Structure 1
Amino acid sequence: MHQNHAGMASNMVDPGLLDKIDKLFACGVGDTIPLPQLVVVGDQSSGKSSVLEGITKLPFPRDSGLCTRFATQITFRRAQVTSTVVTVIPHKGATQGYADKLRAWKSVTNAILEPVSFSKTMQEVHKLMGLADTPADGDGKSTFSEDILKVEVSGPEQVHFSVVDVPGIFRTATKGMTTLADAAMVKSMVHRYMINPRSVMLVVIPANVDIATQEILTLAEEADPDGHRTLGVLTKPDLVDPGAEIGVMQLIKGEKHPLNLGWCIVRNLGQQQIQDVAADRSAVEKAFFRDRAPWNELDQDRVGVDALRIRLQEVLASNIRREFPNVKREVLHKLSTAKRALKELGDQRQTPDEQRRFAMDIASRFREIVSLALNGNYSGNSWFDNEPDLMFVTRVVNRNEVFANDIEKCGHTYGFKFDYSSAENVKQDVMSTGGQGIQLRTIKDHVDLEDLITGDRRIDDKIYGNIIDWLSELYKGSRGFELGTFDKNLLSRTMNAQSVKWEPLAHGYILDVIHMAHGFVATLLRHVCPTARVRDGIMSVLMEPLLETYRRALEQVQFVLRVEKNNPQTINHYFNDNLEKSRQKRLRASLEKQATVHPSPFGVAGVSRSMIALDDIVQNHPMSNAEHVVYEVHDILKAYYKVARKRFVDNVCMQAADYLLVTGPNNPLKLFSPQFVSSLTDDQLEEIAGEDAGLRRRRIALAKEVNDMEVGKKILAGVS
């Protein structure tokens, strides 16, 4: 019954390459990378099983169609000892327990399978996969399976060859046997094998039907539009209606619907002949194509299963030799990609210790960049070049200057009098920014800090010019029986009114610095922790202590404001210096009208001096007592305001901003640290660093892919 294959030696598949393909399929590489293979496809009634039996010489059981419920990979090898090994390869999405059960099963026979033993083996596999004989079996059993049956036949007369059989497609359900869901599953399975760009499709079609109506040919054309990897096989020529033979002949000769690999035609045994154990398929087929016209006019290399087997051997050998270098390159590329993706996921984080180490690594990288930022060492990392938010110290220093300038130019309510020579009080109001208002905030609000954000973003920029009139009204409304002095609370009242803009300006300033600090933390976390879930988890744990720090800064600003408003006082000698200068200017202005200009007594050319008689000084009384007190209040307020303004700006910048938000031991930038991570509970670590179900599945999948590709790399070692 076996054919002598000596004449095929030159076209035989390299047994080493064929063995490597089998191993690549077995180790799971075929789930990720398309592998060279020969796949037999067709309708259920196309005669596909008979063609496969003729090619492989294996007695596929016909009693219940068990072998068509799943893909079957059949491999032949030449060996000194005859044996048949049957195993099951689990499908890609199989659970670990199910996959282990399938891999543990194995059937070994030291002979070629006979019909009875093959049928028994198929029944075992059917049960192992949990398949139902019919939909009525119920209990959640499937009629078809995505698992792969692997049959390896070895013997001294075998030729190295491999073929994959898949279930035949069907369009309608058969009551008590199959469902429309089964039809969809089978079509999807067959399509998956057909779209493999490295597979050669053996498309089996009955010769007695119009090929234009064959769905399997349409699927083949969609998967292989150019027809470069499709070989057509026509069956049932004995059933072709008289007169229709010419259309079939045109297909085989390539005159109609040409395929790159061409068409072949075979004649399977009829149902009665199958039941006859004495029937010889090869003899019956040879007699048909020798004696029956017009089939005896066809080229012999296109008719009969023996010719088809030789043709398939040639096609498979050519396909494997052509595609194997590409497979090796793709395995190496997939291995590199999977390793890189697995590395990006970081270390496994299942236990609290693993999670703590993971969070510690992130915190250490975070602390390193914080140190560079606080020292202004922006050349220490390229992130500073692309992320302005990380240049924290520089941003704070620049904001300090803006704050100081705003307080100096716009912080007072009334403009102080600098020209005492004019007898009239200056009453013209000034708009310090041209009427645009004073911008309190320069940083965009962060959604995390919305509970801290209060007040307007701009305030009125008007500075009133009638300060003497204003002071006069206050003095008249507060004076008592004092002689030449004023109420001790008057200075406090005027100072509070004059510095009323300090609070919104300071509040806007500290909110900006808070947003700078928070923006730094959020931006740096994005860099040191690319995974959004972990980053969000860290931020959720940090938010409470961060907000507490921010509130302390806001409260410190309020504290400084309360101190300034409480009781005006200073020991700064510049107060007396400034006050004395103002008094001298006022005195000089009152006497200048009576001064005369005289040449320099030392005879210096071009130099003159203003002089006044002593009697004129004694008799100079230009002001009333009330006016004198008002101007005195003005000069004291002016001298004190300048000292207090500088002190206030320094205190806000140093105490609220610098110490609490920038350089202090508990500033927000230093909060996320290895010490902070060590204080977290196991539940907090799980929330931050624990892997969610999706990440765990991806890690498992990548680890499997890396393992499969590593095995594949070893299998392919030496392939060029």
Structure 2
Amino acid sequence: MAKIEETLSAEDAPLAPASLLKKFDQLRERNIAQHVALPQIVVVGDQSSGKSSVLESLTKIPFPRDVELCTRYATQITLRPDAEEYVNVSIIPGPSASDFHREQVLAYHPKLVNSNDFAREFPHILNEVNEQMGIRINASDKGQSMFSDDILKIEISGPGKDYLTVIDVPGIFRNVTEGSTTKEDMDLVKSMVTSYIENTRTIILAILPSNVDIATQEILSLASDYDKKGERTIGVLTKPDTVTEASMQTSVCNLVLGKKKPLALGYYLVKNRGPDDFDQVNYDKLDAIFSRRPWNKLPKERVGIRSLKKALGTLLAQITRKEFPSFKADINDRLAASRSELDSLGVARQTEKQQLVFLSTVAEKFQGLVRAALASRHADPFFDKNKEARLLTYIVNLSEVYSDVFEQAGPLRRFGVYDEGDDSDEDQKTLHWQATNVKEQQKFLGDIDDQCFEELDGIIESLRFDDIPMPNSGIMQWIEGHYLTSRGLELGTIGSDVVASAFTEQSRKWAEITKTYMTQVIIIIHRFFKSALKHVCPDLELHDALWVRLLDELLTRYKAALKKSEFLEALERCRTPYTLNIEFARSLRELEAGRTQDMLSTGSTHCSDENGQLLYKMEAITEKFKSQTNLEHIEEQIHDILQSYYEIARKRFVDNVFQQAVDHCLLNGPDSPLRTFTPQWVLNLDAEELDMIAGESAFTKERRIMLEKKVHDLEEAIRILR
């Protein structure tokens, strides 16, 4: 059995060094113990083991002997030296306390002036505390508990006091009493005791009555579970005056001498005042028992309350110094973790001004991503993590596919005077939009799946460019039938209605192709919007509140863009064809010249002279023209006019859809969906809307207040420990 004093150097005082204990007392005064465990002494033992008497001897607080006032909760007693006397009594709510109970016990503060007042009022205070905690004192108190996880906190300052904190916990019991204690009470007490002794900075003062077989005392085995080396457990044997049998006395002496069930720090034998002793205790009189047999054979440093206090002071110094480095490390670790959690909550959003500044900042971050995406600046890590967020890149790739599909699959029938037969297999391979080129471009678009966004149902349709059919053949046959069923009293001319209706029919697929394009553009923009919003709003509650508020406006702007594309389509297809573009006349002349060239290239219209020079036969040419019927001539005219105008209208329409419906309505215009969430939008919110979106929840507010206090406390702890 080692002596506690031997663990310290010779210059160490028998009591813990005041400078270090003062620091820890300052920490305790600032409630640092709720964040990091502090060095302390906990008095544990079975019921009726003499715990309260030992506690009284250590603190000089006269605990009442009334059995009805036995310990039902943890009591934290803190002593500290001061020039003036001061007593403060309060209750710390337990972890299971309801809001009402917490508010009630925190309000409890009895008025006390000095330790004399406290000693006189202490029994009355305990009764009040029991009432505040809802403790059931006897079987007649229905609906109340026998024990509480609240903590009674007693702070006493005054001249001659030592720096000392002692915790008294309810005594352990193994059998329930019907009408008094329950299995739940037994488990609560054991859990309460365990929560204190498992702390490596706690000195375990195990109280053991001398008149009971030590093998029946559960506290020693419980202490050894958490202090396996016995570096912080002291056994205290009480009630030696009740041990009258010689064999029992020998057993007690063997414990103190380390001959039986040894503890690393050993046992101390003490006699406390009895229930009939006066308040002012004469310790010399109490210790007189140790001058008689068989106790006089025991080492003097192992008997009496004063020897115990000296040993406790020395052990407290040892543990305080040993744990000091790890304690500082714990403080720094908890501070870093608390700061990190506080940062994760973002800036405070409790006042209207705070909410306005916060949400405006979030909106500006969002617009920063929008500007970067529209300029194809992808330096922000957001674009690496979200490849689909490369908005303009996807739009450009998609627009090129749209243009190619429109060019290759846009007309209902394939233009060409001599394309009159059915499509051969080889033609079909060639005609599938020159598919390889288009589909290679589509690879860069990724999967554009509108099924991911249920909120877009009713606005967009599930359309794909692959579903657009290729142009049919037989355009001249169709023109003939169309002309014969549409002509009027024109004399050698073509009525404008004939060309207009033919163009409307030939451009019938424009609506489907454009709707497919607009659908996929909206999906690209929508998924960018959602990704960007989630990026700038990692707070799920804030994100959801914003999303709900913005969604209706987003959908309205998508609909406006679709209406614009529909308007442009109607403008092109549902009016009399007309253009000022000089390319129309040039294209028309080229088509006519090409047909004439084809006619001249036939063998019947030319021959070669003796020098091999090509000669045209005017008679044959004249005959060729005369042989063409008026209907054939008009059909060719309709075809050429229709093809020339179609190409101009197609290019104009594709450009207009991109410039007006996509670029202006969806990307860069003032009413773009990407402009719904801006700092200006935030400024236009009223106070109620602002609070609904950016205001913190009750949980977040409480969490922020708690973390801010914790950070403040831990920063103060670091300052004290310097």
Bin for the TM-score computed over the shorter chain: 0.7 to 0.9
- Per the TM alignment, residue 91 of structure 1 is displaced from its structure 2 partner at its CA by 3.3
Counterparts of 1:448 and 1:512, CA distance in 2: 15
Spell out, residue by residue over 1:87-141, the C-alpha distance to the aligned partner (whole angstroms, 9 max, x if none): 3253366768546634x54534266976x55434544555565655346445868
Q: By how many angstroms is 1:319 displaced? A: 1.0
Q: How many residues align?
A: 693
Deviation at 1:656, TM superposition (A): 0.7
1:388 matched to 2:387: yes
CA drift of 1:165 comes to 1.4
1:515 to 512, 523, 548: 523
Alpha-carbon separation, structure 1, partners of 2:68 and 2:262? 33
Partner of 1:454: 461
Structure 1 distance, partners of 2:191, 2:479, is 92
- 1:208-357 map, 5 Å: 214-225=217-228, 227-235=230-238, 261-266=264-269, 268=271, 274-275=275-276, 287=289, 291-292=293-294, 301-302=301-302, 304-357=304-357
Counterpart position of 1:616: 620
Partner in structure 2 of residue 661 of structure 1: 666
Q: 2:550 aligns with which of 542, 560, 577?
A: 542
Deviation per residue, 1:55-96 (Å, 9 max, x gap): 445432111453623322334456777x56343253366768
**What displacement does 1:569 show?**
2.7
SS at match of 2:22: helix
Corresponding residue number in structure 2 for 1:569: 578
For 2:89, give the aligned amino acid.
Answer: T
SS of the residue 2:579 aligns to: coil
| Deviation of the 1:357 alpha carbon | 3.1
Amino acid in structure 1 at the alignment position of 2:578: Q
Tell me, yes or no, if the aligned pair for 1:134 and 1:143 is still in contact at 8 Å. Answer: no
Q: What TM-score, normalized by structure 1, do the two folds share?
A: 0.83
The answer to whether the 8 Å contact 2:72/2:147 transfers is: yes
Matched residue, 2:592: 583
Among 682, 690, 703, the alignment partner of 1:685 is: 690
SS of the residue 1:551 aligns to: helix
- Matched with 1:72 is 75
Query: Residue 413 of structure 2 aligns to which amino acid in structure 1?
Result: Y
Q: Is the 8 A contact 1:427 1:466 kept in 2?
A: no
Work out whether residues 146 and 189 of structure 1, in 8 Å CA contact, stay in contact via their aligned partners in 2.
Answer: no
User: How big is the shift at 1:31?
Assistant: 0.8
Distance (whole Å) between structure 2 residues aligned to residue 218 and residue 521 of structure 1: 63
Moved more, 448-457 or 436-445: 436-445
User: CA deviation digits over 1:361-407, x for unaligned, max 9?
Assistant: 3223333443344344444x443443334433333222221211121
Partner of 2:168: 165
Residue type of the partner of 1:17?
Answer: L
Separation of aligned partners in 2, 1:121 and 1:15: 31
Q: 1:195 to 1:449 in 2, by over 3 A?
A: farther
Change (3 A) 1:521 1:488: same
Of residues 354-363 and 22-31 in structure 1, the stretch that sits farther from structure 2 once superposed is 354-363
| C-alpha separation in 1, matches of 2:631 and 2:351 | 82
Contact 1:77 1:153 in 2 (8 A): yes
For residue 464 of structure 1, what is the amino acid of its counterpart?
N
Aligned partner letter, 1:427:
D
TM-score between the two structures when normalised by the length of structure 2:
0.83
Q: Specify whether residues 617 and 227 from structure 1 end up closer, same or farther in structure 2 by C-alpha distance, changes over 3 A only.
A: farther
Instruction: From the superposition, tell whether residues 164 and 628 of structure 1 become closer, same or farther in structure 2 (CA, over 3 Å).
Output: same
More displaced stretch, 635-644 vs 66-75: 66-75
2:206: which partner in 1?
Answer: 203
Q: Distance in 2 between matches of 1:275 and 1:130?
A: 30
Question: Match of 1:338, as an amino acid?
Answer: S
| Aligned CA distance change for structure 1 residues 512 and 692 (closer, same or farther; 3 Å) | same
**Does structure 2 conserve the Cα–Cα contact (< 8 Å) formed by 1:362 and 1:528?**
yes
Alignment-mate amino acid for residue 618 of structure 1:
T
**Post-superposition CA distance 1:26-81 (Å, at most 9, x none):** 32211111111111122223332233334445432111453623322334456777
Preserved CA contact (<8 Å) 1:36 1:319:
yes
1:133 corresponds in structure 2 to: 137
Letter paired with 2:527: G
Three-state SS of the structure 1 residue aligned to 2:171 is coil
1:406-485 equivalent positions in 2, closer than 5 A = 406-417=405-416, 420=418, 425=421, 427-428=423-424, 430=428, 432=432, 443-445=448-450, 446-457=453-464, 458-479=466-487
Distance 2:251 2:593 in 1: 123
Shifted more, 523-532 versus 273-282: the winner is 273-282
Q: 1:509 to 1:136 in 2, by over 3 A?
A: farther
Q: Kindly provide the amino acid, as one letter, of the partner of residue 410 in structure 1.
A: A
Residue 16 of structure 2 corresponds to residue 13 of structure 1: yes
CA distance in 1, matches of 2:21, 2:338: 26
Deviation at 1:703, TM superposition (A): 2.5
**Offset of 1:597 from its aligned partner?**
7.1
| Matched AA of 1:571 | L
1:615 alignment partner AA: E
Match of 1:630 among 627, 631, 635: 635
The alpha-carbon deviation at position 627 of structure 1 amounts to 3.4
Are the structure 2 counterparts of residues 284 and 402 from structure 1 closer, same or farther at C-alpha, using a change threshold of 3 Å?
same
Instruction: Report the aligned-residue RMSD.
Output: 4.0
Cα deviation for residue 477 of structure 1 reads 4.4
> For the Cα contact (< 8 Å) 2:356–2:683, is it kept in 1?
yes
Q: Mind listing any 5+ residue stretches in structure 1 that lack a counterpart? A: 602-607
Aligned match for 2:150, one of 129, 146, 152: 146
Contact 1:425 1:469 in 2 (8 A): no
Q: Give the Cα separation in 1 of the matches to 2:359 and 2:365.
A: 10
Instruction: Please tell me whether the aligned partners of residues 579 and 636 of structure 1 are also in contact (alpha carbons under 8 angstroms).
Output: yes
Kept in 2, the 8 Å contact 1:72–1:166? The answer is: yes
State the alpha-carbon separation in 2 of the partners of residues 190 and 456 from structure 1: 69
Q: Is the Cα contact below 8 Å between 2:169 and 2:193 reproduced in 1?
A: yes
1:155 Cα offset (Å):
4.3
1:32 aligns with 2:39: no
Q: Sort the Cα spacing of 1:297 and 1:467 in 2 relative to 1 into closer, same or farther, 3 A.
A: farther
Deviations 1:448-492 (A, max 9, x none): 322312243352433333333433443454456666655644434
Aligned residue among 528, 531, 535 for 2:539 = 531
Alpha-carbon distance change, 232 to 464 in structure 1, aligned in 2, over 3 angstroms: farther
Query: What are the ranges of 5 or more consecutive residues in structure 2 without an aligned counterpart?
Result: none
Which has the higher mean CA deviation after the structures are superposed, 93-102 or 513-522?
A: 93-102
Q: CA 1:643–1:80 in 2, change beyond 3 Å: closer, same or farther?
A: closer
Equivalent position SS for 1:550: helix
Residue 89 of structure 2 aligns to a residue whose secondary structure is strand
SS of 2:463's partner is coil
Q: Per the alignment, do residues 276 and 618 of structure 1 end up closer, same or farther by CA in structure 2, a change over 3 Å counting?
A: closer
CA contact (8 A) 2:211 2:243 kept: yes
Q: Is the 8 A contact 2:74 2:151 kept in 1?
A: yes
